[in-house]
Chains A and B, each alone.
Chain A
Amino acid sequence: MFKILQKTLRAGTVTQPYPETAASLASGFRGLPEFDLENWRDARPAADACPSGAIAVTDAGRFRTVTVDYGRCILCGECAAVTPEGAVRVGRNFEAAATDRKALVISAQYTLDAEGRQTCLVRAAPEIGRQLTRQIHRILGRSLAIREVDAGSCNGCELEIVALNNSVHDIERFGIHFVASPRHADMLLVTGPVTRNMELALRKTYDATPDPKLVVAVGACGISGGIFGTNYATRGGVDQVIPVDVYIPGCPPRPEALLFGILMAVGRLRNRQ
């Protein structure tokens, strides 16, 4: 008993005060890629290299539309690696949760030269992070009970969700805890892609959760199907099956990104000092 106490005292406080202070990230951390839309001369290599189809290029005559869907991004950094001019960089941002699926998509229109290179940016849709502050369900704003549902994930998201409960991330300091049954839950935290075999279980879990309730879709697969997309065995993102309130990008989202999205869902994000 004494040894246990001694060990605990020696370990001290390890809980990170995020989001009051910035997350501590390793120097090599890869966050969401950042795009210098003005100076991006050719989006085709990045679109070709993207393993999950997050970057799409559509040409029509002398015009090109480029869309970047952070809801499909698996943070691999290949788009930056194949883009020579530095117009695409691996960023360090992970606070990208959104209440609106469309807010995760950047779109840019360009004119083209004869070789298909982009000459001029004509129009760009608002950058990620602008529409994030809509606050919802303040009624759940204090203590929150979450039921996690793996609707087909590779288990990567689950590992990071489990990490929310360790002493470093300690989600219970916000009065937020994970519960064993949807009947005790205010929020479903759902990972995907939703498989055909989990579709019914997900619907039943949603129905078993009392109102008012929130649904948070976790990770590229939970948002869009990710690298798996939609196929004979999967339905794609969680919102193909049940309504979703908040989307948390990442592959998997790190614990701080999950915390950011969960706090956003209950309107408890404050500006950082």
Chain B
Amino acid sequence: MREVLEQLTQEFAGRIAAAPSYPDQLYAAIAIADIPAIAAALRSRHSARLAAVFAEDRVRPEAAFYNYYVFERRGNPCYLILRARIPAEDPRFPSLAPALPSVNWQEREIHDWFGIQAEGHPNPRRVALHDNWPDVHPLRKDFPLHTALPAFEGDQHVYRPTLGEGVFQIPVGPVHAGIIEPGHFNFAVAGEPILYLQLRMFYTHKGTEKLFEQLPAQKGVFLAESVSGDSAFSHATAFCQAVEKASGMDVPSRAGFMRTVLLELERIDNHIADVGAIAMDVGFVIANAHAGRLREMALAINEELTGSRLLRGMACLGGVRRDWSASQIAALRDAIATLEREFRDLVALLKSSDSTRDRLERTGFLHPEKASALGIVGVGGRASGIDLDVRRDHPYAAYRHLSWRVPVYQEGDVLRRMQVRIDEVFESVAMLRAALGDLPGGPHRAPDLVIEPGRCALSAVEGWRGEILYWVRTGPANRIERCKIKDPSMNNWPGLVEAVQGNIIADFPVINKSFNLSYSGTDR
């Protein structure tokens, strides 16, 4: 990325200034008016991907907000982070959404949280704060976390009408029929096929990013575990890595391997559950029963290693909270062997059913071009030709010591989203074996460190769902001044909207399950 930044600096003579950086994340200051041109140059001439856009309130010390644009480029482990000042008295920025649909929600979020207007945004309505909220901007520093807002008396969201003979709308949620998280889906259908789906998220918005600003970093780890409960360890690790990078904390190599083991275990238990749930949604109940049994085996080994079935209470700054004994590691090896054998049987069972394949193939097709425009990441991306994997592209923990195949398919249907999961379970099993074989000795945790205030850092983790990004600015007294969280679901929900079009509404559950996105991770 250094060459890219140098070329950019020449192209935009004098308007890009390098800022304090790390070897794997370059910072540069730009003028906010230049961002459309710079983003276009980065995307077209340097084939860079815009991974995240977010803002920060620096009004008190600097009389300004800042927008951050995180770019990455395939084959280069370094991120390029552009930082643009937005004066507090004139809070607006030029929207990139007309050219780049992937930032649609992110830019609107900046408006809702900070009151900075995305100028030229094609759909500048609220996204994160529901329409009935009063006119507040909760991530501004002058908005206290514990503000008691009055009863919401504003208007409810007005969905776009769908007109035409025989066309009708089906509202679903936020309380759903299954045991899942809340969100509202408004389907427009003509007969059975879905014409158009409108999503309303952020029902589980809990003020999480604001809450991070009130907690010491050590306690923030537990909050990160509760951002998305099925990715507790991935989110907590992403948070820890960001704080460690900002404060210059070295993580012992044993801890890096242990983190890798736990991250892969999280991938395995979730992927097994999803494979079962996809089978369930097309009526293959027995396959789901076996998957449920396997998942319980996986959760039992999670509990053996961390004290928690969902891997909670294990992540910490500087490593992991507890070391493993030889008997725990032996139990893990046994569990891996059983799981692999049983999972192979489960896959054979699934493949033996032609009717299952028939229901999954070409169902919920997400075109690779659309996936690319929407910035789809993770499992959903890899099933639609998007070859991204943070573990390979920006190695962390012990991934630089391991090798694996990243499964990528072009067909973009439910079958391939399931196949990506199946392939990844087997890859993860092999990675676990390799990581345990090379597990170094030494400490499992670095000594606590006083966190220097005013340092910023980005961290990325390939959670089982996809790319999880955390960006922190440290504050005084071991506190966090700003914590930006980006769950892969944020980008991927619009992918679901594309994938369901033209499918019969009865297939919506299985299409939704094949993405299995996090509501809480999106809503925070």
Using a CB–CB cutoff of 8 Å, the interface residues on chain A facing chain B are 3-4, 7-8, 11, 14, 25-30, 51-52, 74-77, 81, 90, 147-163, 165-168, 178, 180-182, 193, 195-198, 200-201, 205, 221, 226-228, 230-234, 251-252, 254
Is B519 on the interface with A (CB-CB < 8 A)?
yes
Q: Tell me the smallest distance from the CB of B443 to a CB of chain A, in Å.
A: 16
CB distance B175 to A201 under 8 Å? yes
Is B338 on the interface with A (CB-CB < 8 A)?
no
Tally of chain B residues near chain A (CB < 8 A): 71
| B271-308 interface bits toward A, Cβ cutoff 8 Å, 1 = contact, 0 = none | 00100000000000010011011011001110111111
Q: Tell me the smallest distance from the CB of A69 to a CB of chain B, in Å.
A: 16
Bound CA–CA A212/B91 (angstroms): 53
Q: Which of B178-186, B240-248, B410-418, B422-430 contacts A (4 or more CB under 8 A)?
A: B178-186
Q: What residue in chain B is nearest A202 (Cβ atoms)?
A: B175
Partner of B207, one of A26, A51, A231: A231
A147 contact set on B, CB distance < 8 A = 175
Is B73 on the interface with A (CB-CB < 8 A)?
no
Q: Of A75, A147, A148, A197, which is in contact with the most chain B CB atoms at under 10 Å from its CB?
A: A197
B453 contact set on A, CB distance < 8 A = none
Is B15 on the interface with A (CB-CB < 8 A)?
no
Is B211 on the interface with A (CB-CB < 8 A)?
yes
Is B230 on the interface with A (CB-CB < 8 A)?
yes
B133 contact set on A, CB distance < 8 A = 196
Is B352 on the interface with A (CB-CB < 8 A)?
yes
Bound CA–CA A186/B345 (angstroms): 39
CB distance A228 to B308 under 8 Å? no
Is B257 on the interface with A (CB-CB < 8 A)?
no
Q: What residue in chain A is nearest B308 (Cβ atoms)?
A: A30
Is B333 on the interface with A (CB-CB < 8 A)?
no
Partner of A154, one of B211, B229, B313: B229
Bound CA–CA A226/B229 (angstroms): 14
Partner of A158, one of B179, B223, B349: B179
* Given the contacts A155-B229, A158-B229, A201-B182, A28 and B303 also touching, CB distance less than 8 Å: yes
Q: Tell me the smallest distance from the CB of B125 to a CB of chain A, in Å.
A: 16
Bound CA–CA A152/B519 (angstroms): 9
Q: Of B179, B182, B307, which is in contact with the most chain A CB atoms at under 10 Å from its CB?
A: B179
CB distance A155 to B313 under 8 Å? no
* Given the contacts A163-B296, A168-B296, A233-B138, A181 and B177 also touching, CB distance less than 8 Å: yes
CB distance A234 to B179 under 8 Å? no
* Given the contacts A152-B204, A155-B181, A251-B312, A232 and B303 also touching, CB distance less than 8 Å: no
B211 contact set on A, CB distance < 8 A = 228, 231
CB distance B349 to A7 under 8 Å? yes
Q: A30-B307, A156-B310 are in contact. List 7 more A-B contacts (CB 8 A).
A: A4-B286, A152-B182, A155-B181, A168-B296, A227-B222, A232-B143, A232-B147
Bound CA–CA A180/B144 (angstroms): 39
B144 contact set on A, CB distance < 8 A = 232
Bound CA–CA A67/B349 (angstroms): 53
Interface residues of B in 177-226 (CB under 8 A from A): 177-182, 202-208, 210-211, 215, 219, 221-223, 226
A166 contact set on B, CB distance < 8 A = 289, 292-293, 295-296
CB distance A75 to B174 under 8 Å? no
Bound CA–CA A74/B313 (angstroms): 9
B293 contact set on A, CB distance < 8 A = 11, 14, 166-168
CB distance A201 to B227 under 8 Å? no
CB distance A232 to B292 under 8 Å? no
B289 contact set on A, CB distance < 8 A = 166-167
Using a CB–CB cutoff of 8 Å, the interface residues on chain B facing chain A are 130, 133, 136, 138, 143-149, 152, 174-175, 177-182, 202-208, 210-211, 215, 219, 221-223, 226-230, 232, 273, 286, 289-290, 292-293, 295-296, 299-301, 303-310, 312-313, 321-322, 328, 345, 348-349, 352, 518-520
Q: What residue in chain B is nearest A208 (Cβ atoms)?
A: B175
Between A and B, 11 residue pairs with Cβ closer than 8 Å are A28-B307, A28-B328, A154-B227, A158-B229, A161-B179, A201-B175, A221-B226, A231-B207, A232-B138, A234-B206, A251-B226
Q: Tell me the smallest distance from the CB of B265 to a CB of chain A, in Å.
A: 13
Q: Which 8 A-B pairs have the closest CB atoms?
A: A156-B229, A166-B292, A180-B177, A30-B307, A26-B303, A233-B207, A154-B229, A51-B222
Bound CA–CA A246/B166 (angstroms): 47
Bound CA–CA A83/B309 (angstroms): 25
CB distance A154 to B205 under 8 Å? no
Q: Tell me the smallest distance from the CB of A33 to a CB of chain B, in Å.
A: 12
Q: What residue in chain B is nearest A198 (Cβ atoms)?
A: B203
CB distance A148 to B147 under 8 Å? no
B300 contact set on A, CB distance < 8 A = 26
* Given the contacts A3-B352, A7-B345, A167-B292, A51 and B206 also touching, CB distance less than 8 Å: no
Bound CA–CA A153/B145 (angstroms): 19
B310 contact set on A, CB distance < 8 A = 156, 159-160, 252
Partner of B203, one of A74, A165, A197: A197
B181 contact set on A, CB distance < 8 A = 150, 153, 155, 158
Q: What residue in chain A is nearest B313 (Cβ atoms)?
A: A76
CB distance B203 to A201 under 8 Å? yes
Bound CA–CA A55/B472 (angstroms): 28
A163 contact set on B, CB distance < 8 A = 292, 295-296, 299
B296 contact set on A, CB distance < 8 A = 14, 163, 166, 168
B174 contact set on A, CB distance < 8 A = 198, 201
Bound CA–CA A52/B230 (angstroms): 20
Q: Tell me the smallest distance from the CB of B328 to a CB of chain A, in Å.
A: 7
Q: Of A4, A230, A231, which is in contact with the most chain B CB atoms at under 10 Å from its CB?
A: A231
Partner of B520, one of A51, A153, A178: A153
Partner of B210, one of A4, A74, A231: A231
Bound CA–CA A195/B202 (angstroms): 10
* Given the contacts A11-B293, A51-B215, A231-B211, A154 and B182 also touching, CB distance less than 8 Å: no
Partner of B182, one of A7, A162, A198: A198
Q: Tell me the smallest distance from the CB of A123 to a CB of chain B, in Å.
A: 30
CB distance B303 to A29 under 8 Å? yes
CB distance B202 to A197 under 8 Å? yes
CB distance A156 to B226 under 8 Å? yes
CB distance B309 to A160 under 8 Å? yes
Q: What residue in chain B is nearest A230 (Cβ atoms)?
A: B146
Bound CA–CA A75/B518 (angstroms): 23
